[in-house]
Amino acid sequence: METKEIIEKRRSIRSFEKDQIEDSIIKDILYDGTMAPSAHHKQPWEFIVIKNELIKNKIASFLIEKDLRMGKESSSSHTARVIKEAPVCILVYNKYEEQPLMNTLSVGAAIQNMLLSATDHGLGSLWVGNVCKVEDEIQKLLGKNMRLMSAVLLGYVKEYPNKPERNLVDAITEWKI
């Protein structure tokens, strides 16, 4: 696919087939993530690829339990269902404490590359921020001591959503010439 076609085709997928993804495809998606620009070339990202159903289900249960403690259902409970369904959950970490803004921007660029790469490989993806709500629980589960930034879910698409409405470029852009 051409770059513009990939950008326009990419969607946030919340319904995945159970088919497994070859490790070589996952590695290629991770590689594409590492090709993102990073502030001061620090490459602050680190990944944990989770295919294990028990671990994915435990992460999902952390999100559901958080909603129960709050006394109301939120997007976290919906995210939990998708985490359970997706064949792959990639946790994305920032391995440095200094310059948090620059590292956050760099990690975001890596995630965007991964999402576009997934689309190019014929996969669906979902960028999940809700995992940060249960960072402490995930850290204890996995024995990690880095800043959890997000997760990326991958799988073959079961339901492909329509193209969402977007703001018109002219409506959100100011030119100073």
What are 39-51's pLDDT values in tens digits?
999 999 999 999 9
128-132 — which CB contacts under 8 Å span 24+ positions?
Answer: 128/79, 128/82, 128/83, 128/89, 128/152, 128/153, 130/63, 130/75, 130/76, 130/79, 131/59, 131/63, 131/79, 131/91
DSSP state of 35: T
State residue 155's pLDDT score: 98
The pLDDT value recorded for residue 157 is: 97
CATH number of the 13-158 domain: 3.40.109.10
Count of other CB atoms within 10 angstroms of residue 59: 24
Cα–Cα dist 57/63, whole Å: 10
| Average pLDDT of the segment spanning 76-94 | 96
> Taking the domains of the chain in order of start, what are their residue ranges?
13-158
Look at residue 73 and tell me whether its pLDDT is greater than 80.
no
21/62 Cα distance (integer angstroms): 25
> Has residue 1 got a pLDDT over 80?
no
More confident residue, 113 or 69: 113
pLDDT, position 99: 87
Mean pLDDT of 54-78: 89
What's residue 162's pLDDT? 86
**pLDDT tens-digit map of 122-172:** 999 999 999 999 999 999 999 999 999 999 999 999 988 888 899 999 999
Spatial separation of the C-alpha atoms in residues 134 and 76, rounded to whole Å: 10
Whether the pLDDT of residue 90 is over 90: the answer is: yes
Instruction: Count how many Cα atoms sit within 13 Å of the Cα of residue 84 in the half-sphere of its side chain.
Output: 13
Q: Are 76 and 129 in contact (CB under 8 A)?
A: no
Tokens 């991964």 belong to residue: 114
The edge-to-edge listing of strands for the beta sheet with 88-94 is 45-50, 88-94, 147-155, 124-128
The dihedral through the CA atoms of 141, 45, 39, 170 has a sign that is negative
The three-state secondary structure class of 138 is helix
pTM: 0.94
pLDDT tens by residue, 92-132: 999 998 888 999 999 999 999 999 999 999 999 999 999 99
